[in-house]
Structure 1
Amino acid sequence: MTFVPLTRLPWRRANKNHRSLPHHWVDPISLPRRIDAWRHWLDDQPGGRWLLCQRHPEDFCAALIALWESGRIAVLPADDRPETLSRLAAEADGTLPDTPGDHSVSQHEAAALAYPEALAPASTAVVLYTSGSTGDPVRLAKRFDQLDAELAAHADLWPLTGSCVISQVSHQHIYGLLTGVLHPLCAGILFCGDESRYPEVLAARIQEAGDAGLAPVVVSSPAQLSRLPEHLPWGESPHPTRVFSSGAPLAAEHAQHAERLLRTTVIEIYGSTETGGIAHRRQTQDISWQALPGVQLSLSNEHLTLRSPFLEDPGSWWQQPDRVAPTTDGFELLGRVDRVVKIAGKRVSLDRVERTLADMPEVHEARCVDLDRADGRLGVVVALQDEAVPHQHDTRYALIQRLRARLSPHLERVAIPRYWRFVDALPSNAQGKLDRSLINRLFADLDDTKAPRWLGERHPDPSSCLLTLEVPERLIFLEGHFEEYPLVPGVVMVQWAIELAGESFGELGEFQGVERLKFQRVLRPGVRFTLRLTRRNDGIAFAIDSHEGRHCAGQVRLQAQGGGRHG
């Protein structure tokens, strides 16, 4: 099937794909039956705006299209965390459940569910949320004509004939929605997502596509591409046709790393939720950005303005909050222009703080953030070279003093950041951004005196998680507990493992007991440690380690409500 715009209902025109792939792949021809089930469920529901947050692409597509065909609007939260859904509840008339229940639709009922011949181009299709310049969520609506214009540009530059798409990023955001779901849907080709964010799963999906005689296209992000492991058999798998990256600029060494391992072209897309796509590049050949088809650019005095069919008002010029420098065949990004805050009445450039810190040899990257705290002081997240990472209170304090001294010639004392977090790499969401939810998590221990200090996590595979944590010096459990030699009680370590497993894997069930529990070393305030969690059929296994060695390990038995066991 050639490219069909969303307004012409490509899912109702899809042809059978004569390729056999496992059930985690989405075939557009299978969608109408699932769409009709949702349509039948929606017939009994009032309201025109619905929160939609489905992890699996097929469930997401079916529910999204049912909303569209019934004249409703999909409100897409950035994530499915309870606090996010609670905050956005007022933005919608309801939240779609995981499934439409037992609303199976007979052929007769399906025939009665007349679908429109076309969708109105000027109608709102989705409402999305972006972090904006401050990291706080900003609400944005997208019409069908905006989405179709951008999808047509993608189809012009990167046609998908004979391909399939593997997405590592969330379809709840505009980049993942367009590139990982809607473009393959409009092209009538197979696509998948779900657990593909794990490198091992990505390698398996690439192999599945090759075995089916399809050329895979990978939709990824800087965070995913920077962490592609060398040990997986990339060279034995079919290589993708191309890899996309968006959400943040991709470091040159990571672009080279991804192209070498995956043996293909890595294409970056620059844009935002507000503007849609603006430009693209393959930086291993040219660091300049070139405008997407239909996008007009104006570059003057380091300012970028644009006019685009992807904007809410295509005829007006939009001021992009990025500094740029023109090149012979495009432009180069220089950084943001709007990252200036006032601290005690003093204007502070967050970019300048970051650049000053990044000039230090032990600093790989820094991100300065306004925490919006009552004291008005700033926070900094610093990615350090391995040998500079502090592992205990004394070395952490000494490092902070050295970094503050570096900033003191450039900032007044009150403007120097007060809160510091040291990480191996800047945490990022599915779009490769350090957004407000991650910032809140990094600094959550300032207000929660019972939690460890979270510094990042990795998911080597769907059943395991490795968290990097620190023991906050103000941890409430240290009070009155060996005042001359404070340490973390063993029961607290076990409780941390259970609580963080619930955050990593979802609700695991009721506590049934602990087995093979062994404490080997005390855990002191200020110590940096890792918590390794492994999901088991009957609960979790955990281990706490630091540079000193193993502190604690054990297994926690958990049982799902109703007596079921976890697989």
Structure 2
Amino acid sequence: MSHAADSFAPCQRLLAAIWERADEEVVAFGPQGESLFGELRGGAEALASVLAASPATRWALCFDDSLLFAQALLACALSGREVVLPGHQRPAALTELGAGFDGILTDSQQLGEGGEHLWLRLPLTASQHGSPAPRWAAPTGLQLTLFTSGSTGVPKAIPKAWHQLEAELRVLIALWGERLDGTRLLASVSHQHIYGLLFRILLPLVLGVPFARTLTIYPEQLKGQRGPWALIASPAFLSRLDPELGEGECRLIVSSGGPLALADALRSAQLFGQLPIEVFGSSETGGIAWRQSQAPHTPWQPMPGIRALVAAEDRLLLHSPFLPDGEPLLCADRIRWEEAGFHLLGRGDRLIKIEEKRISLDEVETRLQALPWVEAAAVLPLTVATRQALGAVLVLTPEGLRQWQTLGHGRFLIALRERLRPWLEPVALPRRVRLLATLPLSSQGKRPWSELKALFDELPADKMAGGGAGQPMRKEMNNNDSGAAAMQAATLPTLLEQTQTQDALVLRLHLDPALPWFSGHFPGAPLLPGVTQVHWAIHYGRQLLGLSGTFGGMSQLKFQRPLRPGQQCSLHLTWQADKGQLLFSYRLADELASSGRVRLCP
């Protein structure tokens, strides 16, 4: 008997339904063991009593632990307090949103201390509980405000009434509730955003599906799952699956936050027997459509109750029960309908005007990535000496790096622009460029535009060489600098020492806290992403061991200890020429932190 068909169809209040769960039902699991609904309810009621006695009415929720997050969410619902979800939990981001909330609820040991806001750390101590908490009536509503930065980097407040969330939950239950029945839910995305909030917290709560208290950071954590499980993921996470992972009883994989490559979708299906369900939507609109890609250009299917119409300039005109007032919304997304569904054509808000010329940032990125020198590109508008221009953050191919080293930065960028001229207007040619080893993604799989823009804000205008098509990438570069130097300045650790042993090249590295990989990964507990560790191994293998060839896959990845800002570690590299494999391992003193193998194809 399914939860979706029988337990919740008659229920008029899904939030109240959470309160009716049996005390002994498992609500969450983690390193601490299993937690029960009775514990969740008791903790929420105790916290609600504390919040009701506080003058603060708007509380920012900043949690790594999903169970404590759920407890705080329910406590705010019980006590009539408004929930604020900052897009990021870094102190600077909270300061920027300071007027948007009165207090902070958190599980962080540092967040909130010394700040201007009231703050309360969970779990509550016995003294904070005071007298036994009263039995609260089941909550019937929740006020929520999300903050999202979008493509401009400026935080935008998006209020959400409970009826909007409830309407979307009913659709999700109807679509996928039966497949979640009897599973345990894992997630690689944060609950601080609408996708994670709905799929990782609220949906399992109303269905009675136990959810993981901690993030699934690495694909290797999927190994050894007992019993049926489901995964709420991002395209970035699904792109890093190890071919040796296929095991366990997976019932459902959901992906959102960006486009999922067809190859990654098919790999997930091969490894786990489940073709991922992609969900298209936004914080403002909620879910709009879904699809399962088995072939290129699979169209999107609107969710039940959604009408997607084509307005002027191919923009999506959305009619949705998930919107606040029932009025249609003209979206920035551009679509094209066909008989089987609609296709996404890019975003209208990525169409800008420079000198009265209409420029598509998506097109500029596509043209850059079509060049043999560019592996990946992210293009954004900049203001340069009161004039608007384009900046491009690039990941270069090995051929591109060789050209950069041969030509020097100025001539390289002139050559790059010349190769773009057949397709792009002169004003659409990038005037500022930065190099990265890989383009960053947030845990939601989205491009962190504010972080990319900050790469161009690091130097004042008078420190940049002026004029001409090609601008220098960083202050410390000159005509003799190489692409590798640019990468090191932007994205690589400090190389303190290198030694050659009988078996390996050993590099001693300092992990500078300012490295961009620590930003937002993860709030309150930064650590070096596994994908970055792999990229560094490849980079130093090519730079110091003289390796060549294209990336052909990786295997036997193990991440045993986190690498954190400010630490010193050693990177051991061994090249097995007969197998075409680069073996790498990171060590903290004598303890193994991570290891793996990378195959390089001729």
TM-score, normalising length from structure 2? 0.71
Contact kept, 8 Å, 2:15 with 2:206, in 1: the verdict is no
| Superposition map of 1:235-384 within 5 A | 235=246, 237-284=247-294, 287-299=298-310, 302-314=314-326, 316-344=327-355, 346-374=357-385, 376-384=388-396
Deviation at 1:68? 1.2
Distance 2:46 2:393 in 1: 47
The one-letter amino acid paired with 2:337 is P
1:10 maps to 2:18: yes
The one-letter amino acid paired with 2:475 is R
What's the CA shift string for 1:193-234, capped at 9, x where partnerless? Answer: 523122222334xx14x2xxxx2110001111112122x4x2
| Superposition map of 1:380-395 within 5 A | 380-385=392-397, 387-389=399-401, 393-394=405-406
Distance 2:275 2:401 in 1: 34
SS in 1 for 2:184: strand
What's the CA shift string for 1:27-48, capped at 9, x where partnerless? Answer: 4443112213322332442121
Distance 2:525 2:257 in 1: 30
1:196 maps to 2:216: yes
TM-score, normalising length from structure 1? 0.75
1:435 maps to 2:448: yes
SS in 1 for 2:94: helix
Q: In 2 relative to 1, CA 100–132 (structure 1 residues): closer, same or farther, beyond 3 Å?
A: closer
Deviation at 1:266? 0.5
SS in 2 for 1:287: coil
Distance 1:164 1:403 in 2: 50
Distance 2:361 2:424 in 1: 11
Deviation at 1:423? 4.2
| Superposition map of 1:471-482 within 5 A | 473-475=474-476
1:149 maps to 2:167: yes
| 2:203 paired residue number | 183
The one-letter amino acid paired with 1:182 is L
| 1:117 paired residue number | 138
| 1:81 paired residue number | 90
What's the CA shift string for 1:388-421, capped at 9, x where partnerless? Answer: 4469754662543332112234555454212223
The one-letter amino acid paired with 2:511 is A
Distance 2:382 2:168 in 1: 35
The one-letter amino acid paired with 1:378 is L
| 1:72 paired residue number | 81
SS in 1 for 2:287: strand
What's the CA shift string for 1:464-521, capped at 9, x where partnerless? Answer: xxxxxxx975149x9xxxxxx9999xx976696343488668689xxxxxxxxxxx9x
Deviation at 1:271? 0.7
Distance 1:25 1:371 in 2: 50
SS in 1 for 2:144: strand
Deviation at 1:192? 1.0
Distance 2:153 2:347 in 1: 13
Contact kept, 8 Å, 1:170 with 1:431, in 2: the verdict is yes
1:223 maps to which of 198, 211, 236: 236
SS in 2 for 1:197: coil
Distance 1:105 1:353 in 2: 59
| 2:193 paired residue number | 173
The one-letter amino acid paired with 2:174 is D
SS in 2 for 1:269: strand
1:96 maps to which of 97, 105, 108: 105
| 2:556 paired residue number | none
Distance 1:262 1:449 in 2: 54
Q: In 2 relative to 1, CA 439–472 (structure 1 residues): closer, same or farther, beyond 3 Å?
A: closer
| 1:420 paired residue number | 433
Deviation at 1:187? 0.6
The one-letter amino acid paired with 2:15 is T
Distance 2:571 2:129 in 1: 56
| 1:46 paired residue number | 55
Distance 1:184 1:335 in 2: 32
Q: In 2 relative to 1, CA 70–198 (structure 1 residues): closer, same or farther, beyond 3 Å?
A: same
Distance 1:427 1:539 in 2: 20
| 1:499 paired residue number | 513
Distance 2:450 2:213 in 1: 22
Distance 1:244 1:298 in 2: 25
Q: In 2 relative to 1, CA 441–228 (structure 1 residues): closer, same or farther, beyond 3 Å?
A: farther
SS in 1 for 2:216: helix
Q: In 2 relative to 1, CA 220–500 (structure 1 residues): closer, same or farther, beyond 3 Å?
A: same
Distance 2:275 2:352 in 1: 39
Distance 2:325 2:405 in 1: 53
Deviation at 1:184? 0.1
Deviation at 1:116? 3.0
Q: In 2 relative to 1, CA 125–386 (structure 1 residues): closer, same or farther, beyond 3 Å?
A: farther
What's the CA shift string for 1:420-464, capped at 9, x where partnerless? Answer: 2344543211221112233245445435999xxxxxxxxxxxxxx
Distance 2:20 2:151 in 1: 39
Q: In 2 relative to 1, CA 472–299 (structure 1 residues): closer, same or farther, beyond 3 Å?
A: closer
Q: In 2 relative to 1, CA 97–373 (structure 1 residues): closer, same or farther, beyond 3 Å?
A: farther
Contact kept, 8 Å, 2:306 with 2:319, in 1: the verdict is yes
Q: In 2 relative to 1, CA 25–349 (structure 1 residues): closer, same or farther, beyond 3 Å?
A: farther
1:408 maps to 2:421: yes
RMSD: 4.2
Q: In 2 relative to 1, CA 152–91 (structure 1 residues): closer, same or farther, beyond 3 Å?
A: same
Matched length: 491
Distance 2:123 2:64 in 1: 17
The one-letter amino acid paired with 2:126 is S
What's the CA shift string for 1:76-123, capped at 9, x where partnerless? Answer: 0111112111101110112224224654389994452x4233414xxx
Q: In 2 relative to 1, CA 12–18 (structure 1 residues): closer, same or farther, beyond 3 Å?
A: closer
Deviation at 1:371? 3.4
Q: In 2 relative to 1, CA 401–228 (structure 1 residues): closer, same or farther, beyond 3 Å?
A: farther
Distance 2:525 2:336 in 1: 49
Contact kept, 8 Å, 2:85 with 2:145, in 1: the verdict is yes
Percent identity among equivalent residues?
34
Contact kept, 8 Å, 1:358 with 1:366, in 2: the verdict is yes
What's the CA shift string for 1:152-208, capped at 9, x where partnerless? Answer: 10000001221221111010000011011110011112001523122222334xx14
Contact kept, 8 Å, 2:49 with 2:133, in 1: the verdict is no
| Superposition map of 1:542-561 within 5 A | 542-543=569-570
| 1:513 paired residue number | none
SS in 2 for 1:240: strand
Point out the more displaced range, 193-202 or 77-86. Answer: 193-202
The one-letter amino acid paired with 1:256 is L
2:46 maps to which of 33, 37, 41: 37
The one-letter amino acid paired with 2:286 is G
